[in-house]
Amino acid sequence: MSEDQTPQPTPEASAPSDSGPSLLHGCPVSETLGQPTVHTDRGRYLALMEALYRDGFESCMGVSGVDYLTHPGRDIPEGVAAERFEVVVELVSFSRRERLRVRCQVPADDPVVPSLFDLWPGSEAHERETFDMFGVRFTDHPDLTRILMPEDWEGHPLRKDYATGQVPVQFKEAPK
Amino acid sequence: MTTPSLVDLLKAKTSEGAQELLARERTSVKELRAEVGGVLRLPEGVTLDRDDINYEAPDDETMILNLGPSHPSTHGVLRVMVEIRGEQVLRTKPVIGYLHTGMEKTGEELMYQQGATNVTRMDYLSPFFNELAYCLSVEKLAGVEVPPRAQWIRMLMCELNRISSHLLWLATNGADLGALNMLVYGWRDRELVLAFFEKVTGLRMNHNYIRPGGVAADLPDGWRDDVLAICDTVVKRMDEYDNLLTGQPLLQNRMDGVGALDSETAVGLGLTGPLLRSTGVAYDVRRDFPYLFYEQVDFDVIVGTAGDCWDRFAIRANEIRESVRILRQVAKAMPAGDYRAQDKKFTPPPRNRIDESMEALIHHFKLFTEGFRVAPGDAYVPVESPRGELGCYVVSDGTSRPYRLHVRAPSFANLQALAPMVRGGFIPDVIACISSIDPVLGDVDR
């Protein structure tokens, strides 16, 4: 955590080989509508984020999740296997006026990813929201509790198998 | 089932469990660090132990106190739990979610052209920015070219909205700190702007005016005179408020040096908007990642140095003047032309064409039953709302409804600054700090 804050130039994305997409810190990069996006699986996630932090992405604008349960055939570059959940991180470098999106694949049977709290403390609330809405757990998060839903709520509302309009309103501890 | 008695109702607990601020022995060191605002980047080798945080605070001398959720100074339904010793604040934790209405889930059920109606209700003090962030993302996915006049109209409405939002902030900030006369003046001047909104969009708030492809209607006749009159009045009134507030030692003492943040903490916490700029980081999405035609207008990004409440007051007051400056340029530069894209698959035909043309009728029918489809992909286009960076992360699976709609709400992220701001301060400083963060709970909870 004591690294010098001065931004260093991003290591050049290695030249695209004929066979696969270009790589950034060993993770494939794609470009969607002019926005570079790094794809990773959770094994490489924390190392990638640490490298990006050292590259001068000072600010983490947000962490959110997507549940791809009913949209499995999305476009993911080679080298990363598509999973049900994705954790999407928006990074900004103020000094270089640059943005980068990181999409991390999270399997459905064990939705656990490392927390970014030690790199960007501002990710704390966003990760709590992602946990609350998708049930993705963040290891080493200081306070992984629900943030928007009530404490005793069952289920994670933004999952695609959580249907709308089927759950009666839960008033807790109200006298029956 | 019997009707509960009033006594039972009063006894019903409203605990949020672990979401609340717990006693120290039930809190981990890492969580304690967050609650005292210890996002401080400690040098290597320095470890943070419990006693280090627990600065001279034995448990029997401290008290955990709820501020809110229903109190005017919390600007909505924000509940702030503070641990105090005497009057001094040791730990703070905002508890949110009381206004959560599941708008992101609702957004997945609505067609793209209906979505603006939904998102406009999030940050209810700056509805145009919500609509703009949503529409820019959808248009990027759909690849629609928006005509120049529509984009200039969007800029006009957004800058007026920034003025109305900041005026309301001046009013409520004054009220929070005891300058109650400012409350009346701020609301009065905001009404000027809202009257113009009503003339253009038909509604004072929640306009659903900016829609994918352009705006809902052209500007009415005489709009330029109205806008210039608003500009003149606001500038004149701002000078009066300088006399009333800025030169007022009582108010200055309440804000000067209160809630100071350094730029490293602010950047680390992901703050944006006036809160970040007050610490000296000149980050403004309008300048750094330009959208619409902000590259073609001349304006200054206002920054502070001390990062305290007083800086944030000065920044917002001066941003009103900068918005006036932009508005005058927009009024001069407004081109003629279409106010929405003439793409029949994307924007509905005019009402009178439906009576004459079979084709227009079909387009209208298709658009309002099936909607328009956009290509699969994801997009996030940030805009600079009065509270900071606002953006919609929209994922499309190729149907006419967003697969996922995530809103990066500036108030939600900015609220994390409360703990470091109020550490060691007094209870009245908590009120000043909440006010200077300018959270809109509709935006925080969505």
Whether B39 has its CB under 8 Å from any CB of chain A: the answer is yes
d(Cα B117, Cα B114) in Å, to the nearest integer? 6
Whether the CB of B236 is below 8 Å from some CB of chain A: the reply is no
Inform me whether the C-beta atom of residue B26 falls under 8 Å from chain A C-beta atoms. no
* A123/B404 Cβ within 8 A: no
- Assign B338 a pLDDT band (cuts: 50, 70, 90): confident
Q: Give CA–CA dist A150/B199, Å, rounded.
A: 41
Residue A139 backbone dihedrals phi, psi, to 5 degrees? -75, 145
| B48 inside 8 A of chain A by CB | no
In a shared domain, residues B88 and B145: no
Q: Tokens standing for B174?
A: 């004054």
User: What is the structure's pLDDT at A155?
Assistant: 84
B107 is a domain residue = no
Q: Which residue has the higher pLDDT, B71 or B262?
A: B262
Q: Are residues B137 and B252 in the same domain?
A: yes
Q: Choose the weakest-confidence range: A96-105, B2-11, B125-134, B347-356.
A: B2-11
Work out the percent of chain B whose per-residue pLDDT is above 70: 91
Confirm or reject contact between A5 and chain B (CB < 8 A): yes
C-alpha B329/C-alpha B323 separation (Å) is 10
Q: Are residues B139 and B182 in the same domain?
A: yes
Residues B416 and B326 in one domain: no
Average pLDDT over residues B294-309: 90
| Neighbour count for residue B150 (Cβ, 10 Å) | 23
What is the arithmetic mean of pLDDT over B275-297? Answer: 90
Q: Based on the structure, what is the number of domains in chain B?
A: 2
- A156 pLDDT exceeds 60? yes
Decide if B218 is inside a domain: yes
B300–chain A Cβ distance below 8 A for any pair: no
For B408, the closest of A32, A61, A140 (CB atoms) is A61
pLDDT in tens, B230-283: 999 999 999 988 888 888 888 888 888 888 888 888 888 889 999 999 998 989
In angstroms, the CA B27 to CA B46 distance is 21
CB of B365 within 8 Å of a chain A CB? The answer is no
**Length, in residues, of chain B:** 446
Residue with tokens 């320095």: B46
Minimum mean pLDDT range among A55-69, A111-125, B54-68, B263-277: B54-68
Phi-psi region of B357 (alpha: psi -120 to 50; beta: other; left: phi over 0): beta
Does a structural domain hold residue B4? no
Tell me: pLDDT of B227 over 50: yes
- Quote the distance between the C-alpha of residue B10 and its chain's center: 34
A positions 90-129 inside 8 Å of B (CB): 90, 94, 97, 99, 101, 117, 120-126, 129
SS (H, E, C) B401-440: CCCEEEEECHHHHHHHHHHHHHCCCEHHHHHHHHHHHCCC
Inform me whether the pLDDT recorded for B162 exceeds 90: yes
Give B90-100 pLDDT, tens digit per residue: 888 888 888 88
Contact between A158 and B42 using a beta-carbon 8 Å cutoff? no
Q: What is the pLDDT of residue B41?
A: 46
The pLDDT, as a whole number, for residue B230 is 93
Tokens of B424: 């060691």
Same domain, B163 and B94: no
Q: Is residue B174 domain-shared with residue B28, that is, in the same domain?
A: no
Identify whether B75 is part of a domain. Answer: yes
> Over the stretch B348-396, which tens digit does the pLDDT of each residue have?
888 888 888 888 888 888 888 888 888 888 999 999 999 999 999 999 9
**B86 and B156 inside one domain:** no
Minimal CA separation from A13 to chain B, in Å: 22
HSE, side-chain direction, 13 A CA sphere, residue A94 = 22
* Min Cα separation A11/chain B (Å): 22
- Do residues B74 and B149 share a domain? no
pLDDT of B50 strictly over 70 = no
Domain hosting residue B152, numbered range: 112-343
Residues from chain A contacting residue B403 (CB–CB below 8 Å): 66, 71
Digit-coded pLDDT (tens) for A113-148 = 999 888 888 888 999 999 999 999 998 888 888 888
* Cβ atoms of residues B299 and B292 within 8 Å: no
ipTM over 0.95: no
Q: Are B94 and B154 in the same domain?
A: no
**Which of B322, B343, B364 delimits the end of a domain?**
B343
Structural domain ending residue among the three candidates B343, B370, B388: B343
Amino acid making up residue A55: D
Banded pLDDT at A18 (limits 50, 70, 90)? very low
CA B57 distance to own-chain centroid = 36
Q: Mark yes or no for CB contact B4/A174 under 8 Å.
A: yes
Q: For chain A, what are the domain ranges? A: 1-176
Task: Give me the CATH number covering residue B190.
Answer: 1.10.645.10
Domain match, B77 and B122 both:
no
User: What integer is the mean pLDDT of B24-38?
Assistant: 71
Nearest to B311, CA basis, from B270, B242, B261: B261
B29, closest residue in chain A (CA to CA): A142
User: Chain B within 8 Å of A143 (Cβ-Cβ)?
Assistant: yes
Q: For testing the chain B interface, which of A4, A39, A59, A70 should be mutated: the one with the most B CBs within 10 Å? A: A59
- Label residue A16 by pLDDT band (50, 70, 90): very low
In chain B, what residues touch A114 (CB-CB under 8 Å)? Answer: none
Q: In this complex, do A90 and B393 lie within 8 Å of one another by their Cβ atoms?
A: yes
Query: Residue A175: which pLDDT band, with cuts at 50, 70 and 90?
Result: low
The answer to which of B2-16, B31-45, B188-202, B230-244 has the lowest mean pLDDT is B31-45
Nearest-CA distance B97 → chain A (Å):
4
pLDDT band at A17 (very low <50, low <70, confident <90, very high): very low
Mean pLDDT within B208-224: 90
Rounded to the nearest angstrom, the minimum Cα separation between B445 and chain A is: 6
Alpha carbon distances (Å) from B266 to B39, B222, B315: 10, 43, 16
Q: Establish if B357 belongs to a structural domain.
A: no
Between B13, B34, B109, which is nearest A173 by CB? B13
pLDDT for B44 equals 42
Determine which of A33, A85, A116, A133 to mutate to test the interface with B (most B C-beta atoms within 10 Å): A33
Q: Judge: B289–A99 Cβ closer than 8 Å, yes or no.
A: yes
Are residue B90 and residue B153 in the same domain, yes or no? no
Question: What mean pLDDT do residues B119-135 have?
Answer: 91
d(CA A126, CA A117): 10
Indicate yes or no: CB of B404 within 8 angstroms of CB of A66: yes
Model confidence, pTM? 0.87
Domain boundary among B291, B315, B343: B343
- Residue B35 in this model has a pLDDT that exceeds 80: no
B137 & B163 share domain: yes
- Amino acid sitting at position B412: F
Q: Torsions phi, psi of B353, nearest 5?
A: -70, -25
Token pair belonging to B37: 């605002």
Specify if B440 maps to a domain.
Answer: yes
Q: Is the pLDDT assigned to residue A95 strictly greater than 50?
A: yes
Q: Tell me how crowded residue A69 is: count the other CB atoms within 10 A of its CB.
A: 12
Amino acid letter for position B319: E
Q: For testing the chain A interface, which of B277, B380, B390, B393 should be mutated: the one with the most A CBs within 10 Å?
A: B380
Task: Please check whether residue B411 touches A, CB under 8 A.
Answer: no
Task: Report chain A's mean pLDDT, rounded to a whole number.
Answer: 81
Q: What pairs with residue A88 in β-bridges?
A: A64, A103
Neighboring chain A residues of B9 at a CB cutoff of 8 Å: 174-175
Packing angle between helix B148-176 and helix B127-142, nearest 10 degrees?
Answer: 150
What integer is the mean pLDDT of B113-118?
A: 89
What is the model's pLDDT at position A169?
62
Higher pLDDT, B71 or A130: A130
Average per-residue pLDDT for chain B: 85
CATH superfamily of A1-176: NADH:ubiquinone oxidoreductase Nqo5 subunit (3.30.460.80)
B388 in reach of chain A (CB within 8 A): no
Q: Is the pLDDT of residue A14 over 50?
A: no
Tell me if B195 is assigned to some domain.
yes
